[in-house]
Amino acid sequence: MIDWTNGWLWIIAALLLALIEMILPGYVFLGMAAAVAVMGALLLSGLWTAGLPAALVLTAVLSGLIWLALSRMRGVDRSATRIWHRDINDNE
């Protein structure tokens, strides 16, 4: 039986998610890796005493917040294809 309150398992999972992020970049796995690492640190320090369901909920919320922060820091991709909805020759 796996002891989900072991912080080292969460840290190892965070490293594996970071490795997946290196293979498939997109900031999605990086956000998850950071959230899982935070949860692992909370478990190792003894600050988190709630059970696994609450830990998974907090990890999901943290993952979304970290992903949002990373996507805001990354900014808009200027090399992306632009879609024009209006032609310069259209008279309005």
Question: Which strand (E) or helix (H) includes residue 62?
Answer: helix 52-74
pLDDT in single tens digits along all 92 residues of the chain: 788 889 999 999 999 999 999 998 877 899 999 999 999 999 999 998 888 999 999 999 999 999 889 888 877 677 777 777 877 777 76
> b/e map of 64-82 (b: 16 or more CB within 10 Å)?
eebbeeeeeeeeeeeeeee
**How many Å separate Cα 20 from the centre of its chain?**
12
Mean pLDDT of the chain: 88
